[in-house]
Amino acid sequence: MARTPGPHRELRGATVRESLREALLEEPCTARDLSRAVGIPEREVPEHLEHLMRSLPHRGEALEVEPCRCLDCGFVPRRHPLKRPGHCPECRGRRLSLPRFRIEARSGRRPGRPKGSRRRDRQERDV
């Protein structure tokens, strides 16, 4: 009768995105890296990243995308920056680099920063 499949799915999605965020705070990742780190299929990564893109500014962070480019002609397809097309729209070549993602903390604007970034700051200062 009262079946609620929705919340469970959404809960899992939120956990996945939190794991993606942690991976991206560590180092720049491709969709393939992220699928391996978080344990979701590579094709599901872009939709989670889109969610993440919208929620990150609330924490004073931003998702930075290094777009894919064609290794043959250097063309950068910009229509779907989170995904890699099967071939280059310019030269039809299939050698395209994977887009890379990372999270930038926009520090200095908010007093309440997450624990992880504060620890990283201290390490950098000591070096």
Residues 6+ apart with CB under 8 A from 53: 63
Which of the residues 34 through 63 are near Zn ion (CB under 5 A)? none
Give the range of 26-34, 52-60, 67-75, 111-119 binding Zn ion by CB under 5 A: 67-75
Q: 65 with 81: CB under 8 angstroms?
A: yes
Which long-range contacts link 64-68 to residues 24+ away (Cβ below 8 Å)? 64/101, 64/102, 64/103, 64/104, 65/99, 65/100, 65/101, 66/28, 66/99, 66/100, 66/101, 66/102, 67/99, 68/96, 68/97, 68/98, 68/99
Give the range of 20-28, 55-63, 90-98, 116-124 binding Zn ion by CB under 5 A: 90-98
Rule CB under 5 A: say whether 72 interacts with Zn ion.
yes
CB of 67 to Zn ion, least distance (A): 13
Rule CB under 5 A: say whether 89 interacts with Zn ion.
no
CB of 75 to Zn ion, least distance (A): 5
Give the range of 23-31, 37-45, 51-59, 72-80 binding Zn ion by CB under 5 A: 72-80
CA distance 67 to 37: 20
CB of 32 to Zn ion, least distance (A): 21
Residues that bind Zn ion (CB under 5 A): 70, 72-73, 75, 88, 90-91, 93
